[in-house]
Structures are given as structure tokens and as C-alpha cells.
Structure 1
């Protein structure tokens, strides 16, 4: 074990030395190119922010019907849409977290849809448990968060936990560790994560079904 640690330390030291050497050897032209590239990236980002805000990003909004949903799908590359109904208390918990994340992740459109008022869309996406969250990227539904199973199977999960789970789909920009849930105290509930994330049966004893 000691030899492994020593080897890893030497490898890291070598990588740092190489990076320092690269930085030391930068010329004025190299620095100018880096600055120019950075300025272009900042300008492009600002243009995107203006477009995102024009499309309602930065706020957690409700879509009136299926028509509005499809209009949003054409304008926004990344969408997080919460399927709710008024009688389900857990939907209010989802609302609280998504409102916070909408302001943080302006690159993504956060919205909600009343499942009972949008039966065509609900059936098309095979939503059977409320709350359910559809995670959409480039007009393709990449994943679903069904109930609270993937969030620790509890009602008091953190906003960071919701953010981490959404990030699994690529629907938001995320710089954290995708392999480790933020709510580490409940880590034991994630041992079967791949199965629960990809399940399309949407059966859950702890969440409300649409067929009541």
C-alpha cells in the first residue's frame, strides 16, 4: 500500500511539474491568444444568457397546456419539467427545490405542468407517479426522477441532492462529483441507483399514482 501511495504521489508531482513548466514557457503571443479565447467565451456566454432570459430561464414557471410545453421545447435546449397535481403534498417540496435551482442554473428552463390538465403529454411521457420530473436535453427525454426514491427516499432531502440527481441527465451544468450523492448520510439508499433511475414502470408505494 505504501508503494502505491508513493507512486501516486510521484505521478502527481510529475504532472504538477509539467504544468508549471508549460506555464513558465508561455510567450506573450500565447498569453494574448489565451486572453482572446477567454474574451470570446465570455461574449458567447453573455449572448446565451440574454437569449435564455428572453425564453424565461432563471424562473420556475407553470406551463398552461401541452401547446406551451412544445413551444418551450423548441426554444430551450435543456428543460426540467415537474409533473404535479394540487392534491399531492410532495409536489410542494419539489416546487421549493426547483425554484432555487431555476435561479442558479439559468442555462436550463425549469417549469411545471399540471398532470391532470395535460393528459396527452402525461400519457405520452408515461407519467404514472406524482411527483415526477422529466429531464430533457436537445428535445430528447433523457431521464426521469420518479417520486423521491432517487433522492434518499425521504421528504427532507437537500436542494443539493436534487441538483446532483438532475445533473445525472446532463440537463444542467454541474461541477460537483457525479458519483457521490451530497446527502452522504443516506448513501445506503443509492446502492441500487442505476435500476431505479432507468426504471420506466414508475411504481412507488410512497408516492401518488394517477390512476387513483
Structure 2
């Protein structure tokens, strides 16, 4: 008896939601039906302008190196890069397994999120920046917005604590602070990293000069 009452309540709720959705669709269809040729032309023109602006943005982003995951060999180039692009993800790394895992995911995201510049810097070859930005654990991602450091992703702690995190998990972490946007280009399919136990390395372990 109790189950039948619950079922009845659920059915009523489903019907209510369906009715609301149907009414919204009817309103949208009605609005389209009442558009005259001038309204349609205005919509078309606005859409063309939006597409033109997006094409211009894409062209500018590509000219700045967006869409590629590149190494910055000289420290001073970091400053010109963060000034030129509104959103930058910079990976401070050394030549070890954890950093190679991060490289794999970032190379995918760089192509998926053309609105953001993805770069990397060898921490041992960038002592000034490593000290200035207080880089102690590798890998570390420095997330820059409007030429200012907005956040860090340090090691794998926020990604499950191992190297088995997916590209999508890293994508969600970066999107959380809006250094990338989910609206950009195509959606990202899950890409699992190779399974292998790992310990995060510290920068102090890798070099005595820092």
C-alpha cells in the first residue's frame, strides 16, 4: 500500500516537470513563429558577428602559441607570455616520471582548450622564478590569469594522490579557477594515465642551488 502511494507521488512529480518543460518549449516555438524577416535577419547578423569575433580570437590565440604545449627555455620569456595571454598554465618540472605524467595530460588539454596558453619550465634551469614563486614540489602548475598568479596545483594531492588521475580530473581542477573554460572547442573524453606507483619529488631534493 505504501509503495503504491510513493509511486503515485513520483508519477505526479514527473508529470509536473514534463508539463513545465513542454510549456517552455511551446513558448520558444511560439516566439520563433512570430519572428518576421527583419527579426531573422537581425539574428543572423548577430550570429555572424559572434562567429567573426570568435574567429579573430582563435587567430590571435594561435599566433601567441595557444593550442600547443611548449617548453620555455629562458626565464625572462615567462613574463612576456603571461602578459600576452589572459590565461596561462605553466608546469614547473624536472625530468622524472611524475612530471612526464603531467606532461601527457597537459599536452591533451592544450589542444582542447585553445583559449589558454599551456607552457612548461624546467625548475632547475629557472632558479629565479622557482624561488620567487616558491616552487618546492614537482610537478607544480602555476595558474596565471591577467598576468597574476591566481592558484597552484602542487603535486598530485588534489588529483587523488597518485599518477592514476585522468585528464578530465585535471581539466575540472583547472576549470574550477576558470583558467580554462568547458565551453571551449570539443568536449574532452576521459583519458586514464598509465598505472604505476609514484612518489612526488621535491625541488630541494633535485637541486641544492634553489
Q: TM-score, normalised by structure 2?
A: 0.79
Q: Which residue of 2 aligns with 1:120?
A: 128
Deviation at 1:78, TM superposition (A): 1.0
Note if 1:56 corresponds to 2:49: no
1:152 corresponds in structure 2 to: 160
Secondary structure of the structure 1 residue equivalent to 2:119: strand
Corresponding residue pairs, total: 185
TM-score normalised to structure 1 length: 0.79
Partner of 2:138: 130
Q: Compare CA radii of gyration and give the structure with the larger one.
A: 2
**Alpha-carbon offset, residue 11 of structure 1:** 2.7
1:188-207 Cα shifts (integer Å, max 9, x gaps): xxxxxxxxxxxxxxxxx942
Other-structure match for 2:173: 165
Structure 2 SS opposite 1:97: helix
> In the TM superposition, what whole-angstrom CA distance separates every residue of 1:138-188 from its partner, at most 9, and x where no partner exists?
112222211112222221222222222211121122049xxxxx97xxxxx
1:210 paired to 2:203: yes
- Counterpart of 2:54? 45
Q: How big is the shift at 1:5? A: 4.1
**Distance (whole Å) between structure 2 residues aligned to residue 119 and residue 4 of structure 1:** 62
Where structure 2 has 5 or more consecutive residues not aligned to the other structure, the ranges are 1-8, 191-197, 206-210
Structure 1 gaps of 5+ residues are 177-181, 184-204
SS at match of 1:127: coil
CA RMSD of aligned residues (A): 2.1
Q: Which residue of 1 aligns with 2:115?
A: 107
- In 1, Cα distance between equivalents of 2:151 and 2:14: 39
| Alignment partner, residue 18 of structure 2 | 9
Q: Relative to structure 1, is the Cα distance of residues 175 and 50 closer, same or farther in structure 2, using a 3 angstrom cutoff?
A: closer
Q: 2:74 aligns with which of 60, 65, 75?
A: 65
Distance change >3 Å, CA 27–CA 152, structure 1 → 2: farther
1:71 Cα deviation from its structure 2 partner: 0.7
Tell me, in whole angstroms, the C-alpha distance in 2 between the residues paired with 1:52 and 1:175. 16
Structure-1 separation of matches of 2:23 and 2:48: 31
Secondary structure in 2 matching 1:116:
helix
